[in-house]
Structure 1
Amino acid sequence: MDSIIGGGDEITVGCILSIKTTLGEVLEGQVMSFDPHSNILVFQEGIQSVSGPRNIRLLKCNFIRDITYLGRAEDPFDFKKWDIDLNILQAREESAIRQAETEAERIGVGVTEQAQDIFDALSKTLPVHWEKTVIVVMNEVRVGSPYLPESVTGGTPAANIRVRKVLERVRKKMQTQGGSQ
């Protein structure tokens, strides 16, 4: 990290400072980061030993009148000191990815909003998935555009009838709620 001020102690992440701004405000806290390109200091107000919520300030260095070095605290980003179980984090990440993939599979590509609404309604009572623009119900019955009971094909006669009945109820409910036909 580049120094904020030249000469003397280099001001780096972890330093405890007292800063006086050009507006006369005095801030005490710890340096979290410094970006020399934008000339912005990320500063956590409050002394490290103070518990509870603290403010994070982004200070444009042009508005800093004076800096007093008060000491050095531990690096706030020293992850080795944190009690983190990487296996748990990796499991959470994998679970979140699987969940996102599952949710993405439930969104039809190239289908109307009405078709997606029908899919969502059918999915509440029956197992469904998309095959391009066709809704596949119970891995055997297919519902194609325009997603009417007459559009239901395939599957056993009992499964076909069940899907037609559910689809009729879904469409009636959509009509009474002001949805499309």
Structure 2
Amino acid sequence: MAADGKRLSTAGKVATPKLGDQSILNDSHLYKIIGKRVKITTTIAAATSNNNGALEGVVYAADPVLNILAVNTAPAPPNPATNLASQPGNYHVISIPHIQDFKILASGGGSGGEDGAVAADTVGGFEAAVPSIGTLDLGALKRREEEAVKKLIQKEATRGRGVPKEAQEIFDAINKTLPARWHEQSIVINDAVILGPPYTLNDLKAGEGKEMTLAHIRKIMESHLAKKKASGGQPQRPGVATPIPPRKGG
């Protein structure tokens, strides 16, 4: 009974990894190991490899947010002049908390032997990664973000608040030709003409000297209303050609 109890007690224990000097795996230093050839022993031996949980390869990526490493374990090509980026890779994603032992052996193009081990604080970086990792133009990304926000603001400014659907349709039709904006529930067109509820032709108002602009807007509204009436109040759809049956007798 005592022996059985001892075996059960031992089986219920989870191995605690004995970590060595892993300061290089801190968030602020992870970038230094990208492009380095490393040897990693994990606590998940059976699931990781057939070599007692050891992996040897080149670090391709390191993510301090997800707390993982991506290692390319594909062997280096026999011809040193071969472009490594064109070679197929064998990538493994490793959880940093599962790393039991970590050694930097050499740079990405090295032989990988332990005789070529280098100090953990040797400067590495994205330039040495294989396949190569392109740099991000943060300025361009910021400009794209600002442009996207600007377009969203402009689009939102063309939406009326508390107005009927028909009023929004009239606004969109006019705004295709002339600049229009909402002022509360009124449409200001070309900063010269105002169209208020209930948004009929008789509700158009313009100052002295704006007769030509007023006439242009009336034509736009008349055309929009005529198209809507012709379609029965629904958006018009492209017509479908009716097939002509073949003539009999040639």
- Partner residue of 1:41? 67
Number of residue-to-residue matches in the alignment: 161
Q: What code does the residue aligned with 2:102 have? A: Y
Looking at structure 1, the residues matched to 100 and 154 of structure 2 have their Cα atoms a distance apart, in angstroms, of: 52
Higher strand share: 1
Q: Which residue of 1 is the match for residue 156 of structure 2?
A: 104
Q: How far is 1:59 from its partner?
A: 5.5
Deviation of 1:137 after TM superposition, in Å, equals 0.9
Cα drift, residue 23 of structure 1: 7.7
For residues 90 and 204 of structure 2, the distance between their equivalents in structure 1, rounded to whole angstroms, comes to 60
Q: Once the 2 structures are TM-superposed, how far is the Cα of residue 130 of structure 1 from its aligned partner?
A: 1.2
1:9 partnered with 2:16: no
C-alpha distance 131-9 of structure 1, shift in aligned 2 (>3 A): same
TM-score scaled by length of structure 1: 0.61
**Percent identical:** 21
The aligned residue for residue 178 of structure 1 is 234
Query: CA offset at residue 138 of structure 1?
Result: 1.5
1:165 and 2:165 matched: no
Paired residue type of 1:115: A
Query: How far does residue 102 in structure 1 lie from its aligned partner after superposition?
Result: 2.9
For 2:238, the equivalent position in structure 1 comes to none
Distance 2:62 2:166 in 1: 53
* Preserved contact between residue 43 and residue 57 of structure 1 (Cα < 8 Å): yes
Aligned to 1:32: 63
| 1:154 match | 206
Question: How far apart are residue 145 of structure 1 and its match?
Answer: 2.2
1:69 aligns with 2:125: no
Tell whether the 8 Å contact from 1:42 to 1:56 is kept in structure 2 after alignment.
no
Correspondence 1:112-131 to 2 at 5 A? 112-131=164-183
Worse overlay, 106-115 or 119-128: 106-115
AA paired with 1:69? F
Cα deviation, residue 113, structure 1 = 3.5
Residue aligned with 1:142, SS: strand
Letter in 2 for 1:8: G
